[in-house]
């Protein structure tokens, strides 16, 4: 079997074998830290509440249950990812930052990543403090003294920085993107427990729903793979150039545009924005007078399944276009093609090429944005149809999207490493 041969070949190569063991070792360290609680805080009540809050549940899923355990890495890589997103958005405002990110090559990217690391520190402290204050205000954890609160915030911040360091170590010495691999590990870590929970709560009267869930899961996984691997290939030709006695160029290739270039970032954006008014309204409900009444009314309105679902889908759709506009620059691609003597057949180089790429990208993004929107609201749809809460995790398209993307990317990296070594032997 070709797949089995590749696996055996993978472990025969010493360098690749060491990389795999290193990745597994980092995963083990991550899981150990995810079960080390913050000193002075009882996590029993928090575990009961997080399951009913989609935003906290999403963060808990990304951290592999570390948030529900109130562990030292309860925020996971969230501060680092948030810092990276904020700085990418700021490239639209500050030209120098945009030049650093897009035009100064590898050295510029390293400086940009350093800024992300620095920005992640105050964000981690702020998010950790806000999370503890939220839990305390809702009565989910007991009263905290100032020293315990200070130690907790410092511990959470240090844990987030350790996670960021582990992610970069994986990128440098492992296989694939370290941040994606740690998020993948966090999601997969809770899978056995969820399967056991689902099996223990099996209801014979809902056999039809379980069968429908099985086929729906296969369909969703297949759709995620199809969209993740989907490309819109734009033909590109290169003009012939003569240098000395040799001729270069004169070849045809293509420029691939991903159907879903934004990944899961729009879902994270939408959840953060959608849950912010809900959390604020929840905090203000305890206030008396018209403020408390207005907050209670706002909470009731926002918790309506139809309002939540439509708002969630719309925000994901919009943020897909917005984030792609931040990370994908048709003008830069057009300029680089022109410098290298490349052109799209039938399209003038320069501004016309940039406009053509923008037109094609917008058409492709409609499919990608609709797909991400449906993936985001899929748990709500499934739970509404089946009335089985355990299906929410398994059918949750966000988790499936992350898992499939990481597995496919890692498989490509492994294949490239094996082929490179085969070429060297040849």
Closest listed residue to residue 328, CA positions, set 366, 363, 354: 354
The more confidently predicted of residues 354 and 285 is 354
Strands 241-243 and 246-248: antiparallel
Cα first-last separation, the chain = 23
* Overall average pLDDT of the 298-309 stretch: 73
CATH dotted code for 14-189: 1.10.3370.10
The more confidently predicted of residues 226 and 389 is 226
For residue 358 the two structure tokens come to 């923008």
Residue 417's contacts (CB-CB under 8 Å, 6 or more residues apart) are 13, 15, 16, 175
pLDDT at position 85: 80
- For the full predicted model, state whether its pTM sits above 0.85: no
Per-residue model confidence as pLDDT tens digits over 128-154: 887 777 777 666 666 677 788 888 889
Q: Which strands, in side-by-side order, build the sheet including 342-343? A: 252-258, 231-238, 342-343
Instruction: List beta partners, residue 254.
Output: 235
The SS3 call for residue 250 is: coil
Closest listed residue to residue 12, CA positions, set 413, 422, 410: 422
Q: Where are the beta strands (DSSP E) in 249-398?
A: 252-258, 342-343
> What architecture is domain 209-426?
Orthogonal Bundle (1.10)
* Overall average pLDDT of the 193-213 stretch: 71
pLDDT at position 414: 78
Q: Cα separation of 275 and 187, whole Å?
A: 21
* pLDDT > 90 in the chain, percent: 1
Q: Cα separation of 88 and 91, whole Å?
A: 5
- Kindly report the number of other CB atoms within 10 A of residue 153's CB atom: 21
The CA-atom distances, in angstroms, between 140 and each of 78, 132, 286 are 22, 9, 15
Judge contact between 260 and 368, C-beta under 8 A. Answer: yes
Ranges of CATH 1.10.3370.10 domains, the chain: 14-189, 209-426
The SS3 call for residue 369 is: helix
Say how far residue 20 (Cα) sits from the centre of its chain: 22
Kind and range of the H or E element at 288?
Answer: none
DSSP string across 197-212: HHHHT--GGGHHHHHH
Q: Cα separation of 410 and 20, whole Å?
A: 11
Q: Residue 43: pLDDT band by 50, 70, 90 thresholds?
A: low
pLDDT at position 389: 54
């Amino acid at each position: 079997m070709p797949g089995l041969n590749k696996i055996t070949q993978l472990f025969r190569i010493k360098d690749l074998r060491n990389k795999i063991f290193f990745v597994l070792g980092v995963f083990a360290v991550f899981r150990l830290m995810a079960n080390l609680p913050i000193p002075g805080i009882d996590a029993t009540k928090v575990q009961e509440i997080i399951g009913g809050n989609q935003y906290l549940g999403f963060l808990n899923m990304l951290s592999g249950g570390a948030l529900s355990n109130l562990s030292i890495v309860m925020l996971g890589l969230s501060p680092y990812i948030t810092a990276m997103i904020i700085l990418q958005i700021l490239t639209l405002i500050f030209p120098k930052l945009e030049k650093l990110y897009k035009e100064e090559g590898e050295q510029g990217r390293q400086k940009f990543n350093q800024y992300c690391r620095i920005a992640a520190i105050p964000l981690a402290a702020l998010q950790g403090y806000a999370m503890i204050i939220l839990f305390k205000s809702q009565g989910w954890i007991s009263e905290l003294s100032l020293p315990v609160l200070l130690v907790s915030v410092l511990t959470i911040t240090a844990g987030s920085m350790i996670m960021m360091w582990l992610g970069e170590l994986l990128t440098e010495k492992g296989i694939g993107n370290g941040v994606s691999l740690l998020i993948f590990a966090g999601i997969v870590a809770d899978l056995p427990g969820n399967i056991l929970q689902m099996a223990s709560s099996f209801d014979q009267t809902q056999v039809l729903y379980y069968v429908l869930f099985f086929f729906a899961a296969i369909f969703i996984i297949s759709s995620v793979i199809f969209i993740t691997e989907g490309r819109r290939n734009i033909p590109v030709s290169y003009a012939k150039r003569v240098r000395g006695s040799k001729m270069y160029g004169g070849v045809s290739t293509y420029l691939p545009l991903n159907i879903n270039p934004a990944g899961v970032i729009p879902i994270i954006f939408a959840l953060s924005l959608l849950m912010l008014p809900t959390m604020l309204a929840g905090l203000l409900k305890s206030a008396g007078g018209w403020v408390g009444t207005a907050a209670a009314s706002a909470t009731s309105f926002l918790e309506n399944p139809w309002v939540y679902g439509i708002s969630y889908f719309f925000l994901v759709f919009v943020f897909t276009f917005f984030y792609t506009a931040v990370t994908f620059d048709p003008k830069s691609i057009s300029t680089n093609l022109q410098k290298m003597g490349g052109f799209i057949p039938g399209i003038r180089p320069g501004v016309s090429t940039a406009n053509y790429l923008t037109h094609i990208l917008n058409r492709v993004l409609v499919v990608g944005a609709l797909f991400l929107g449906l993936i985001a609201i899929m748990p709500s749809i499934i739970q509404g149809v089946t009335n089985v809460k355990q299906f929410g995790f398994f059918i949750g398209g966000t988790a499936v999207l992350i898992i499939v993307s990481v597995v496919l990317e890692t498989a490509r990296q492994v294949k490239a490493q094996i082929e490179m070594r085969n070429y060297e032997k040849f």
